Structures are given as C-alpha cells and as structure tokens.
Structure 1
C-alpha cells in the first residue's frame, strides 16, 4: 500500500498535528457499544524529513475499542490528516531489502497452504489476482504451481520489483479501478493486507468486483484478541517492553472469527470458512531461530487438532476462504 510522492508544505516545527476524526460505530456490524481495550501510541519521527505533517502525530495516542456485538476491534478515532495511511505506507525500501524479502521464502508455508485450499475449491480454474502483492513472492509461488497469476500493488517500488522478479503482470490501481476493465479472476488473495485498511467491509466489496461468479477469496489477518493478549503478556514478562500491536494504527482492524466471518458475509460472500493460518517460517541459521520456527509450527499443528482451536490462544492468525455467489 502506498500513494504518489507528496511534498507537504513546510510548517513550524512546533505546529500541532491535524487532529482526529471520531469513529462512532463498528465498521463491521454497525454496533455502537464500543469498549476500550488498549491504547495505541504514534511514533512517526522517522518521517520528519519525508513528511513533517505526518511526523507531528508522534506522541499522540488513540484508544482501540471492541464492539460488544461482533467482537471487532478498531480505533475510536482516525487521524484527520488527509491520506494518513497512504502517507504512512509510502515506504521507500532499498533494492537489496526488496530482493531479500522476495527470495527468503519465509511466507512460503502460508502461500502453499492457501494455494492448496484454493485448488481444492477451484478444480481446473487457475487464474489468481493477489491484492497487495508486495514484492511478488506469492505470485511466484502460485505460478510455480500452474496458476496464471497477476498482482495489484500500489507502492511503485515494490510493484516494479514484483513485475521484474516474476515477469508477471502487476497492476498499479485498486481493485475497483481494475474491475472497470471487465476482467475477472477465479481466485483473489488478500494476505496480511486487510488489517491495514479502514472500513474493511468496503475493501472486501471491492475485492469481490474482480472475482468471477463462483470464484473464491482467501484472506489472512492477525487474530486481534489473541495478538493483543500475547503482546500484553510479553510486556509483563519483559520490563521495558511495550505492546505495540496497534501502534501507529498499523493494525487498524482487529478481527476475531465472528467478525471476520461477518465482514465477508456483509461484503456479499457466502460459504465462509475460517481456520488457523499457517505461520511464517524464517529459513535462517542458528539454534534460536530454529527453536522459534519449531514452536510456531507446533503451535499451529496443535491448534488445528483442537475441536475449537481457531478460537483458542493457539490461533495467532486467521485464514478465511469465501465464495462469490
């Protein structure tokens, strides 16, 4: 996710930030009984040169609230700065970093699991559009399994890398713009994307516009309540550690099984299935990394064996599949 380069007008260094706009109702179900569960901190000083207006939010806080009706978590207010999220995600990564991100394969277990599930649901239909394609790794893995894969990526640097590294089409436009071309795909993937986008039902509705009738979407997100508990436990065990799961509103949406299911249904999808998502496995040397990978894999496998494992503390991420009628 990114936006076009911007050059904000200079302003005094001690000028206040642009403020916040309250969010009155749950983005998923419309409920208004919202209880605070956490406080998110803004630390954007790294943008001081690139975007001083954005950097002025450093030190501000906003509460994360949870909906009593569906369990969805979201901020009680959003930064009023125009295109706040686009400006925050205007990351300017180095070529070396993008190449490492592409070749490391740390999400290959996730990608392989998702593709197998989609293949079981779509026998003989192998067109795929990856929304939020990043550096193109999922596209590469999909192509290796026989998919005709394409991507959507708004960040110009990562979009260029994905196209160059895979040799596959990468579209620098959002799903609704792309749908106006009339093209449709059998499968659409949103892997580690939806948690970053305010108004997630609208984002899912946009994704549905590029799906064929009978096509399937795969959505992976962090399990909001479990991630927050994990971070708060870590903070208690490690003096000086701060639970940062919501800071800067990088994770603006905090889903549970119920709210993710409801979001997909409200967007017009049917046959929703939610399971524990496969973990990231970092292929790096060293006993510590090996132990970390082993714990992640064991947690995932054990959670899948439990009758309601997807609702348990072992379910750190959620993987959903849903059909476009």
Structure 2
C-alpha cells in the first residue's frame, strides 16, 4: 500500500505513480494536501484553487448507481423525504404560470412528478443515465418526458429551457466542465441552472467529529470517497460555473431532506431542521457571507434578460 494507516494525515505521502487521481479536476494543478482519509482513499485539497476532490479514479459516466432489475428502491427516501425540499423549490422558483425545465440526473422521476402536479403550466423534461431508473419513472410515476442516456449526447435544442436542475449530481462527475458548458447552451438567455450538492467544509467537520467520537471504521462512508468525486465549497462551485460561461452565481437555502443517514428518525429530522433554521439565521445576519448549511444550493445564471425568481 502507498501509505501507512498508522500515520497522521500530515505524515501520509501520496505516491504520484499510484492508481489514484493526481491532479485537480477544476484547474488541473497537481499540488495538493490531504484533508481526510476514507477507506485508504485520500481526499485532497488543491494548493492552487482550493478545490477538494477524491483521488479515487471513477469512470466519467457511472451508470450502476441504481442497481439491477431486483433493486428495491426505498420510496420513504426518494419520495416522502424529498417532498418538502421539492415544494420549497417550486415556491421559490416556479411562480411564473409556465416555462420549460430540464432535470439532469432525474433518477426515479419524483422531482419531475412534483413539477407536473404543482405547476401544470410548466413543461418538465428529465434525463437520467440509468435505464432502470428511467423504467421506474415511466412505469411507476407515469412520466412520458423522461429519457435515458448521457444528456450531452441528446438532441435537445439550444436555448430551449428556462431552468435546468442538478440534484445531487455534480459531485459524482469527475470532469463536469463539458456537462455545464453543454447545459449552458440549452438555457435561454437569462435562464439559470440550479445545483444542489453537499457543502464540503461542513461535511468535513461532521466526518472528523464522527472519527473523533466513534473512532475510525474501515467500512464507514464518511465523505463517500468512491462516489463523491468532487467536493464543493461556495468559492469553488462559483469558479466552476463562471469558467463554464455562467455570468452570476448566488446561493439560497431550501428545507432539508427529512431523513438522517437513511433513517427517518423523528428526533434526527428535528435536529436536522434546527440546523437548517440556525443556518438561515447565520446566513441572514452575516449578509450571506457565512453559509453553515450542510447543503449548497447554487443558482448560476446565463447572461441576458434575467428570468424572474421570487425572493
């Protein structure tokens, strides 16, 4: 192995010849420092731009997330637990009577279903790499505008959408620049892309607390090092969006998913919502400088007449 697991993080040296990612996904620089070690996979921070990424070599279009035909999806998580956050999105962004919205990485289609139920004047389209998830969306959620495949290979017309959403997608993609540049071309002038992703600085604190209080578990997934290939802060997500042509990036907050680590414990959900309200208060009194929410919600706009968003 390329490091001694008994050493501290500062003592571990990454071998550049190993089968690990050696350069930053965002700026290409190979200077880095380790910030966390998960199951012998270093998670590192770029010395140049500050981007944090897993060194695990994941393929660009990973299509095995949703499993095979025998997969039993936990609908308490994918449906019930997401209803409040999807409602918040509709209330904040979809007050216009009609428009077009594209959901990339739409999974089982529950967000698309919510749009059709709540905002029938909106035309919602979903793209998902997993054929199995799309089959569920069509057969169980009765959606006709959900398609399987890589969205960059679609024949969607340019400048045809007012809003594009990426719910828990961007962190899974090793090299997201080509995706965001393509999605930029699909937006109407003044449209925007909405990106939800974990807020890495807070997730790192949570992971380190778990290790400190419970010890290191070799089977634990503290930061999902094999799955969350890129880990974003406000600064680096803004840099990525602007590098891909977006003219303005702001951050908002929506209510959290009503589950804690896959467990619908009422106490856990209450604690999670308390953290959310404290985060909103801190965000407000700091004039949006301090974002201590566990999740980032970014709104990246395309130049042109601004698509109206409810404040």
TM-score by length of 1: 0.75
Kindly state the Cα deviation for residue 187 of structure 1 after the two structures are TM-superposed.
1.0
Q: How does 1:127-276 map to 2 (within 5 A)?
A: 127-146=100-119, 147-164=122-139, 165-179=141-155, 181-182=157-158, 184-239=160-215, 241=217, 244-276=221-253
Pairing 1:36–2:34 present = yes
CA distance in 2, matches of 1:239, 1:40: 12
Note if contact 1:194-1:203 (Cα within 8 Å) is conserved in structure 2: no
Note if contact 1:175-1:210 (Cα within 8 Å) is conserved in structure 2: no
Label 1:190 to 1:225 Cα distance change in 2 as closer, same or farther (>3 A).
same
Label 1:40 to 1:29 Cα distance change in 2 as closer, same or farther (>3 A).
same
Once the two structures are superposed, residues 27-47 of structure 1 have per-residue CA deviations (whole angstroms, 9 ceiling, x without a partner) of: 223444321112232xxxxxx
Kindly state the Cα deviation for residue 296 of structure 1 after the two structures are TM-superposed.
0.9
Given the alignment, which residue of 66, 75, 79 partners 2:45?
66
**Structure having the larger proportion of residues in helix:** 1
Residue ranges of structure 1 left out of the alignment (5+ in a row) = 1-18, 42-60
Kindly state the Cα deviation for residue 109 of structure 1 after the two structures are TM-superposed.
2.0
Give the corresponding residue for 2:277. 301
Kindly state the Cα deviation for residue 70 of structure 1 after the two structures are TM-superposed.
3.3
CA distance in 1, matches of 2:155, 2:87: 27
Note if contact 1:246-1:252 (Cα within 8 Å) is conserved in structure 2: no
Residue ranges of structure 2 left out of the alignment (5+ in a row) = 1-17, 304-311
Kindly state the Cα deviation for residue 297 of structure 1 after the two structures are TM-superposed.
0.9
Kindly state the Cα deviation for residue 236 of structure 1 after the two structures are TM-superposed.
1.4
Note if contact 1:282-1:289 (Cα within 8 Å) is conserved in structure 2: yes
Note if contact 1:92-1:157 (Cα within 8 Å) is conserved in structure 2: yes
Kindly state the Cα deviation for residue 257 of structure 1 after the two structures are TM-superposed.
0.7
Once the two structures are superposed, residues 142-168 of structure 1 have per-residue CA deviations (whole angstroms, 9 ceiling, x without a partner) of: 112212211101111111111221323
RMSD: 2.8
Pairing 1:323–2:296 present = no
SS of the counterpart of 1:272?
A: strand
Kindly state the Cα deviation for residue 130 of structure 1 after the two structures are TM-superposed.
0.7
SS of the counterpart of 1:149?
A: strand
Count of aligned pairs between the two proteins = 278
Label 1:87 to 1:125 Cα distance change in 2 as closer, same or farther (>3 A).
closer
Pairing 1:108–2:106 present = no
SS of the counterpart of 1:78?
A: coil
Kindly state the Cα deviation for residue 248 of structure 1 after the two structures are TM-superposed.
4.8
TM-score by length of 2: 0.79
Kindly state the Cα deviation for residue 321 of structure 1 after the two structures are TM-superposed.
0.6
